[in-house]
Each structure stands twice: as structure tokens, then as C-alpha cells.
Chain A
Amino acid sequence: MLEVTTLTKKYGNVLAVDSISFTVNPGEIGVLLGPNGAGKSTTIKSIAGLLRFKGTISICNLDNKSIDAKKIFGYVPETPALYDALTVYEHLVFIAKAYNLDEGWQEEVDRLLSIFDLTDKQDKVGKDLSKGMCQKVSLCCALLINPKVIMLDEPMIGLDPKAIKELKKILIQLKEQGCAVLISTHIIDSIEGLWDKVLILHKGKFAAVRTRSEVDKNNESIEQLFFKVTEEGE
């Protein structure tokens, strides 16, 4: 479970995120939406443990910056940066070693490489990969650790249709296995049919937090909800 409580982040005098709280339960897919500058990236980076912040973030009841929390947390950043001189396979070996994965990770590596059509690219170094391939490697790295909580920042960008289909399938599998999934995106259509909870950030605060049943009950789409709450009072 991912639990964020009164998360506040200031850059100098600018309040980027203003005391937001939310949870993404096991087996739930949460979607973080918001216009540019709403505070999504700050929230994502805070959860990933890259920023200092006020408030608490816990991953399965563990402090997000603790080693134990990191062991069960997968992160796919918006900009997939890989090591220039490491091959695709070596990236995954590094992850297996860094996360001290149990025996059998090699089979999982092969499975992931095959799913994302990377088997024949496994000896290519990071520098020679296209943006889409970097994104696929980045996804493989996050999935390899078999996370309990996974956070994906614009995961579909750069992926080919087959990879998008596979990723969606994997996200549903993760959900079924009890993993808490948080996706941040601008492309509302890309998460259609996937989400359980939508969190709309606007000017550093939540403008709306709704479950799928609540949205369905009001007979509105996320897109309609998004524009309604972000354009109110503007």
C-alpha cells in the first residue's frame, strides 16, 4: 500500500505541493492527473525518495526512504535515462544485484525481455537505444523486482502499440497480485479501462479524488471531470 500523508513541498518561496494526502491500496490502480505545473512531478519525485518534503510517505507501512521500502518499490521515471555503456541485459543484472533478488531472476529477465521484444537487443548498450527502447528497459527494471508498489510516470510515451498492450496486461496482472499501482499521465485516454482511483492535482492541491464507482455513478468521464475541476474559477 502507498500512503501519502500531508505531503508539502516548497521550492524557495514557491509552494509546489500543499499538504496532500492519499492512499493507493493493494490491488488498486491510482491515476495522478493534473495540468502542467500542478505538482505531479514533485509528488512523484517525493514518493520516489528523491526530494526532501514535509509530511510522511509510506510504502507498505515502511518509510519511503528506508532500504526495506525501496526493496519493494518499482519506479519508472518520465525520462528513461540509462547507463550509456551498459547493455540492456547488464542493466537488468545490475538491478538484480542491487535489489539482491532471489534465485530465478534470470528467468524473469528472459520473460520480460521477450514480452517487450528486447531479446535480440539485449547486447545493445544504453547509448544506442531509441527512446522507446529505453522506456521498455526502464519498465523491465521496475518490473524485475516484483514490486509491491509501483509508480509509473508517463509510462506509455514512446512505446509501440504492442508494448502498450503488454504493459496494460502487466499492470492488470500486478493489480491482481495485490500490487499498488500509481500512474502519472497527461494522456487520459491511455489509462481508460485501467484505473480504480483518480487523483486530480491542481495548483499543488487535490481538486478531485474519485473512485471509479463514484465517477460512474455521476455518469461522467475522467476527461469531463478533469476539465470541470481544473477550469473552475479560472
Chain B
Amino acid sequence: MQSLLYIIKRTLVNTIKKIVKRPLVLIGYILGILFIVFILILSFLDSSSNSYGSYDLFFSLIVTALFIYAYFTLKKGIDNGSSFFRLADVNIAFTSPIKSNNILVYGFLKQLTQILFFSVLALMQVPNLRRFFSISQSGVLIILIGFILYMLTLPIISMIIYSYTSKKLKRRKVAKVILNLLFLAVLINVVFSIIREQTLLEGFTMAMSTKFISYLPIIGWNGQIIAYAISGITPSFYVFLGLSIGSIFLLIIWLYRMEKDYYEDALVSTEFKESVISSKAKNGFFVIGSTTKIKSVSFNFTKSGAATIFQRSFLELRKTGMLFFDKVSIMIIVFVIVVRVAFYEGTILFVLLISVYILLLSSVNGRFTQELSKHYIYLIPAHNTTKLIAVTAMANLKNLFDGLILFIVAGFLYKESIPLVILCGLTYASFGAIYLYGEVLARKLFGAVHANALKVFLKLLLTIFILTPGIILAIIVLINSQSFFNTVLILLSYNIFMATILLLISSTIFKYIELG
């Protein structure tokens, strides 16, 4: 075990050493940490936490998030297993004379450090949660405990399921059917409850906060733990905490006893994980899987220079069939309907604010990172700004497409005018452009690895220093003119201005390959 701890220790020391060698990156990390501390202190100092969200609603939302996470993790687990390891562990540690259970513990420790990193993301949402729910000051710690325990449990369950199902194709199929049926049952229950109660929120809360779900192993228990953030710690908290920790130990023992020889399962899932990591590094999130069919398409390049980059992207889209209307578009339509039903008195402006916030948290800019990994972009004889516009054109068009869909539906639901609908769609896309060029700039300043690590902080920085002035300006216009159209127009104009500045500053990223 000592030798495995040596890897963790040296990895940490060397990572810190590398960061210290790059002052800009170091400043980025220090500011990032200070920022998180500042936000947390601020949210703690604000004792006037609101309480218009009930305990049951909080529990229902938490449990729903846990259900969704479990569904996708377990589904992936059945297909590819789940691994705490990297290929270096497989090649070096697995073949060394170290007991396999020690290697498993080492895997958990590594997983724990990753989870702690993701916990920062969860921490950033605490001020938002406190805005809607009366979360006690110790509640933040409780949320973190529940979050970490849950994040530790699911990979073990995934590994157990994979160990069992990987041996026979039939088992895998049955496991998938069972998983789908279980989650379908939960969904049907929610839908029936909404129909019965006639209101979305009450129906949803009634369905998801039942005693049955509270006592459901893992999801219910961890949901209960997190929900104590509102109700405060009572003796039953320790019971659920004990159950959760106990279940992790039992699952580890089960995994170890069930399959001492877990290396093969870990190998398969590690190889898959490694391919995903390298695909992400090379292609961003735009990954063409081995099962993606490439269509034969006749196409003529009619443009020259940087514009060919855009034409090539378009050709790739046509070949892979990954056109603008995709899962994100469907989710956006569902989202706007849910917002309309849940917030009767909301406006199209409210939809715009929530949607751009979600876009900020989830912005996936795919293609430009793919271009950065290939040398062609650096060699094409065109101006850097034109190249960046061409490379990001597809992402901007996608945002515009999603924005228009979102606000056409919202315009219909809120009975707004067509010009306002179009303006909102354009504004949505303009926010996307700011996020996109902000990310390009971050990569230029910090490099891919650190820009990724500092993502949360950089997004907040973007929100505060770049977006907030525009939003304040828009609020002033709204108060003075009482016109949604003028408000959104100001917001759009400001965003276009800022996006252009960011584009110009970041366009030199194509000057040298090392900047990308």
C-alpha cells in the first residue's frame, strides 16, 4: 500500500510544482480558491435564507437528481463497467506484486480526490440553493457528505453489475430491461401523481417524497442525508449516515468476494475510459463513436481560405447526420414547457435568464477544441480572426438554432410577439458566443489542462465581469421603459460588443499550436 500511496503523493507534489512554475496559472488557481471561499463566506453571512421551497420539494429535487445520475451511471456501467483506474495502473500496478484489494483501496482513494474536485462544483450551487431553501449553515457540510457518499457508492454498484452481466450477453440485456423498467416505474408514478394533483410541483413532490422513496437503499438514504441540510441534524441523520457508509463497506466486500479477479472488468472499462479521455482531449466533446455511421454525401467546396473550414464542418455534420436538431434541442423544448407549467407568472424574460444560466453551466463547444489538436488550422493561410470565426461558426449556429426553437415555443406559451421571440433567440445565441470566446481566451491564457481545471472559476469570472454589466444595463432599461423588447435589445447589443472583443483578443490562439 505504501508504494501506491507514493504515486498519489508524488502526483500531488508534481502537479503543484508544475502549477507554481506558471505564474499566470498559479494566480488563476489562487484567485479561484479565494473566489470559492468568498462566495461561501458570503452565503454563510447571509442568514436570511429563504424558505419558500419546502422540505418535501427539496428532498424530491435531490432524489430526482440522484435517480437521474444513477440511471446514466448504471446504464453506462452495464455497457462498459466503471473504473477508478487509468491505463498506467493497469500496465504497472495491476501486474506488480501488490494485493488486488490494496489496489482497489488505492482506486477508491483516487476516486475520492476526483469527487472532492467535483464537490467544488456542488459548493458553487450552495448560494443558489440557499436562495430557494432554508439551508442551515451546517447544511453545506451535510450536502457535501451526502454527495461524496453517493458518488462513491455508484461506481462500486456499477462494477458489481458489470462483473455479473459481462459474462453473458443475455444477462446484460436483462439488466438493461430491469433498469429501464425501474426508472420507467418512477417516471410513470410521477406523471400519474401530477395528473391526480392537477399541479406540476405538488404532483411531483407527492410522488418523489413518499416514505417508500425515503427508505429506498442508496438513493433514498443519501437523499435523506442531503435533506437534513434543511431540517437540521436529528438522531435519524446518523442512522442514514451509518446505512450509507455501511452499504459502501458491504458493497466493497461483496465486490471483493464476488470477484477477486476484477482486473479484467477494470481493464475493459479502463480502456473505454482511456479512449473517451483521449477523444475528449483531441476532439472536445464532439466524439464520433465507432458505431456512428458515416454517410456518403456529394459535396463541392465552393469557398476558399478560412471559409473552407466552415464548409468542412458542415460536410462532417451531413456525413455523420449530427445536424442541429438533437437531444439538446428536445431537452430545450421540454425545459421551456416545464418552466411555463411550474412558474405560471413567469415571463419570456425569466425563460431567457434561466436558459442562459443553464447554457453557462453546460456549454459544450466541441468543435473548436477538435480543430486545435490538428495542425492544419495553424497552416491555413488566412487571418487568425477569420479562422476563429470559421471554426466557431457551427457552434454559434447551433446556439442560434436552439435559441430560436426555445423562444418560438416560449413565445407561443407566453403569447409574445414574433420580433421579441426572434430577439430572444438571438440574445440566447449571443450569450453562447460570449461563453464560447471566453473559453477560447481561457485556453489561450492557461492552456487546455488548467483551463479545464479552472472552468468553474472562469465561468464565474465571466459572469461577474463580462455578463453582469450588460444585465445591469438591461435592468435599468426595463425599469425605465417597461419594455421587454428594449431590454432584450440592449442585452443583445451589449453581448455582441463583448463577444466581438473576446473574439479579437482570443483569435491569436491559432498563431502557435502550443497556445491551443
Q: Mark B181-213, 1 if CB is under 8 A from A, else 0.
A: 000000000000000000000000000000000
Instruction: Kindly specify which of B96-104, B306-314, B507-515 makes contact with the partner chain.
Output: B96-104
**Closest partner residue, chain B, to A87 (CB atom):** B14
**Closest partner residue, chain B, to A97 (CB atom):** B3
Q: A45-B267, A49-B263, A50-B263 are in contact. Are A86 and B7 (CB under 8 A)?
A: yes
A85 at the interface (CB under 8 A from B): yes
Number of interface residues of B (CB under 8 A): 31
| A126 & B88 in contact (Cβ 8 Å cutoff) | yes
In whole angstroms, how far apart are the Cα atoms of A50 and B85 in the complex? 13
**Closest partner residue, chain A, to B267 (CB atom):** A50
| B96 & A98 in contact (Cβ 8 Å cutoff) | yes
| A73 & B11 in contact (Cβ 8 Å cutoff) | no
Residues of B within 8 Å of A90, CB to CB, are: 6, 10, 14
**Closest partner residue, chain B, to A51 (CB atom):** B264
Residues of A within 8 Å of B11, CB to CB, are: 83-86
In whole angstroms, how far apart are the Cα atoms of A86 and B95 in the complex? 18
Residues of A within 8 Å of B91, CB to CB, are: 75, 77, 79-81, 138
A180 at the interface (CB under 8 A from B): no
Q: A70-B95, A86-B14 are in contact. Are A94 and B7 (CB under 8 A)?
A: yes
**Closest partner residue, chain B, to A12 (CB atom):** B169
Q: A51-B267, A94-B3, A97-B6 are in contact. Are A70 and B97 (CB under 8 A)?
A: yes
B252 at the interface (CB under 8 A from A): no
| B96 & A99 in contact (Cβ 8 Å cutoff) | yes
B interface: dominant SS: helix
Among the listed B14, B86, B168, B264, which residue makes an inter-chain contact with A81, where contact means beta carbons less than 8 Å apart? B86
In whole angstroms, how far apart are the Cα atoms of A81 and B92 in the complex? 8
| B95 & A73 in contact (Cβ 8 Å cutoff) | yes
In whole angstroms, how far apart are the Cα atoms of A75 and B95 in the complex? 7
Count chain A CB atoms within 10 A of each CB in B11, B18, B97, B264 and give the residue with the most.
Answer: B97
| A98 & B97 in contact (Cβ 8 Å cutoff) | yes
| A86 & B87 in contact (Cβ 8 Å cutoff) | no
Q: A81-B87, A97-B2, A99-B96 are in contact. Are A50 and B14 (CB under 8 A)?
A: no
Residues of A within 8 Å of B264, CB to CB, are: 50-52
**Closest partner residue, chain B, to A90 (CB atom):** B10
In whole angstroms, how far apart are the Cα atoms of A67 and B94 in the complex? 11
B489 at the interface (CB under 8 A from A): no
A68 at the interface (CB under 8 A from B): yes
Q: A45-B267, A81-B86 are in contact. List 11 more A-B contacts (CB 8 A).
A: A48-B94, A50-B263, A51-B267, A70-B97, A71-B97, A81-B92, A85-B12, A91-B92, A98-B96, A126-B88, A138-B91
Residues of A within 8 A of B (CB): 12-13, 45, 48-52, 65, 67-68, 70-71, 73, 75, 77, 79-87, 90-91, 93-95, 97-100, 125-126, 138, 141
Q: What are 9 A-B pairs with beta-carbon distances under 8 A?
A: A13-B169, A71-B97, A81-B91, A83-B7, A83-B11, A85-B10, A85-B15, A90-B10, A95-B92
